[in-house]
Structure 1
Amino acid sequence: MATGNETQVREFIFLGFFSLPNNPVVLFLAFLAAYLAIVTGNLMILVLVLVDSCLHSPMYFFLSHLSCLDICISTVILPKILVNFLRRRNTISYKQCLAQTFFLIGFAGCEPALMAVMAYDRYAAICRPLHYSLLMSKRMCIYLASAAWVWGFLDSAIHAALASQLSFCGVNEIPHIFCDVPPLLKIACSDTSVNELANHITSLFVGLFPVLFILLSYVCILASVLRIRSGSSRRKAFSTCTSHVIVVILCLGNGFLNYNRPSAGYSLEIDTLVSAMFCIVAPVLNPLIYSLRNKEVKGAFRKVLNKWTG
């Protein structure tokens, strides 16, 4: 916090929605519908994986963690936006801002690591089928999923600790729709060189390294599939990876747009749109991608629906 002659900032004002047409009711309903869709779709995946024995496999175990992450990311951001629409005040307290930053970075940092774990699962299933049960044992799945969560929140702890040392000299207007490290660095009046260095270093471990691992895994998968002589077996192998590839492109592309767009050159309207996409698009589409493209998930949904409807 600021000390001495610096003005102590007790709350921040989000500028993102100020640039949009002043119709809070429409925006409230749109974001409420998006949040309900995210929670409903991802809860459906969680319930199906839990109750259907056909989905008790490593791939769906990791998918349930992805669904949990999607719910968590949207819950960190969207309820506060909805409350602000009702209050007609786009503000957040200093402590709430730091808490939002901590949990947002933590959950968002878990996703690339979890995607890498899911890619490894597909590699083991296709390239090492005889050793798959050993490589992806129940204990190993728990270790890998836990490592992904720890990976993300270790990164989050570093950024949140550094952000708590920033000073804000009376400037409390954040050009964003939620609290995050990059917009906070823009308005800080203290030295941000350590924060920026931490951003560059952790982005390698949290972002780049998992992406490289995913690419390497799919190069090995592609090479292995191309050696399969049977066309039907080749298509079946590819089909087990399709949903994951689409989700990887969607989630990591969405995250890349949010965290790696240039600091200048975009209008506040574009920034607001990209930020809204980050917390809405991937969490809404992920359960649809897995449910619409996956026969096992559709079969589990039909069984549960028939059981509940009698």
Structure 2
Amino acid sequence: MGEEIKVANKINATFVRPATFYLNGFSNIPYTKFYYVFLCFIYIVTVLGNSFLMSVIYLVKTLHTPKYMIVFNLALTDLCGSTALIPKVLDTFLFDRRYIVYEACLSYMFFVWFFAFVQSWTLVTMSYDRLIAISIAVILLFVWVFSLSLLAAAVGLIDRLSFCGSLVVQSFFCDHGPVYYLACNDTSLNDTIADLVIIIVMFLPPVLIVLTYVCIAIALSRIASGVERLKALKTCTSHLILVALFFLPLVGTNIAVIISYIHPNARIFNSTLTHTIPALLNPIIYSLKTEEVVHMFCLYAFPNLRIAH
């Protein structure tokens, strides 16, 4: 029977789709339960922080501006991305349910990378909002539709592969590369779209953001007043912090994997933090660095301040 499957695969006459995959992340690591508790804490704070930020922007009509439309979109993707990843990671490893149904694995992969993709390009949109006045709603809609299309293609192409060997996924979730690497037929098309996704998600956005800030720097250099120049720069600091939090670990990890060897467990720990920490810190950073949000929080948290104001 095994020989028949191999022959069938060679002539592409059939596809072998497994019932389940096995997630092999966090193997042979002591005291990992403490790390799972830490991830649980990250998720709770992420949900509370992003929900608060979205509620403030939704309820306060003075914040219904293009700038805060982008902030709302970023908070939404942070919330959805963490929800797509962390609860399933905890369920998989804390309760030792490492087997995942084939269809669920592809859905898991799609949603984790879809929200990461949207977050990446939301940060690009945020940088262009500081450069020119444009239709933010149209750009954000394009980001969601384009992200949906590309990730659907990447995940959909996995469904044409045969899995007749190992079903152990060397990752903490159904990651795109570790899953399609297990296939036993031609994966050249998957390699191509994987490279395309990496370029579009990890490398192209930082380049566009840098170019935007070069243009901003040129514009600021023409401002005579140093005070006005400093005031304009302060409006960019929160965005730059968000960009650094999201892109530096993501790009750094992938470059390190390409040019050198990283222990699988170290890569997994780094990847989990890369996928979860930005969503935790984004609402905190943006709230503290934005006077309007801080002011509205004070008014709602301490109603008596309205009288003083």
Instruction: Calculate the TM-score normalised by the size of structure 2.
Output: 0.87
- Alpha-carbon contact 2:26-2:32 (below 8 Å) kept: no
Root mean square deviation, CA, Å: 2.4
Residue of structure 2 in register with 1:50 after alignment: 58
Q: 1:224 aligns with which of 219, 227, 230?
A: 219
**Percent of matched pairs sharing the same residue:** 30
Q: 1:78 aligns with which of 82, 86, 97?
A: 86
1:96-107 to 2 correspondence within 5 Å?
96-107=104-115
Say if 1:29 and 1:207 are closer, same or farther in 2 by CA, change over 3 A. Answer: closer
Residue of structure 2 in register with 1:165 after alignment: 160
1:234 aligns with 2:243: no
1:249-264 to 2 correspondence within 5 Å?
249-257=244-252, 259-262=254-257
Once the two structures are TM-superposed, the CA of residue 27 in structure 1 deviates from its matched residue by 3.6
Q: 2:45 aligns with which of 12, 26, 37?
A: 37
Q: Distance in 2 between matches of 1:308 and 1:185?
A: 58
Residue of structure 2 in register with 1:68 after alignment: 76
Residue of structure 2 in register with 1:17 after alignment: 26
Give deviations 1:172-227, integer Å, cap 9, x for gaps. 11111011211113322222111111122343344433333212211110111121
Residue of structure 1 in register with 2:239 after alignment: 244
- Matched letter for residue 192 of structure 1: T
Give deviations 1:116-167, integer Å, cap 9, x for gaps. 211111002xxxxxxxxxx33xxx2211111111121111011011112222
Once the two structures are TM-superposed, the CA of residue 261 in structure 1 deviates from its matched residue by 4.3
Say if 1:3 and 1:209 are closer, same or farther in 2 by CA, change over 3 A. Answer: farther
Alignment partner of 2:26: what SS? helix
Instruction: Calculate the TM-score normalised by the size of structure 1.
Output: 0.87
Q: Distance in 1 between matches of 2:150 and 2:294?
A: 36
Residue of structure 1 in register with 2:301 after alignment: 305
Q: Distance in 2 between matches of 1:308 and 1:184?
A: 56
Q: Distance in 2 between matches of 1:3 and 1:279?
A: 41
- Matched letter for residue 175 of structure 2: D
Question: Where do 5+ consecutive residues of structure 2 fail to align?
Answer: 7-15
- Alpha-carbon contact 1:243-1:293 (below 8 Å) kept: yes
Residue of structure 1 in register with 2:266 after alignment: 270
- Matched letter for residue 164 of structure 1: D
Moved more, 173-182 or 207-216: 207-216
- Matched letter for residue 108 of structure 2: Q
Give deviations 1:16-55, integer Å, cap 9, x for gaps. 111321553x343222111101111111110111112332
- Matched letter for residue 48 of structure 2: T
The size of the alignment, in residue pairs, is: 295
- Alpha-carbon contact 1:162-1:195 (below 8 Å) kept: yes
- Matched letter for residue 122 of structure 2: L
1:195 aligns with 2:190: yes
Q: Distance in 1 between matches of 2:95 and 2:3?
A: 31
- Alpha-carbon contact 1:15-1:174 (below 8 Å) kept: yes
Residue of structure 1 in register with 2:283 after alignment: 287
Once the two structures are TM-superposed, the CA of residue 309 in structure 1 deviates from its matched residue by 11
Question: Where do 5+ consecutive residues of structure 1 fail to align?
Answer: 125-134
Residue of structure 1 in register with 2:96 after alignment: 88
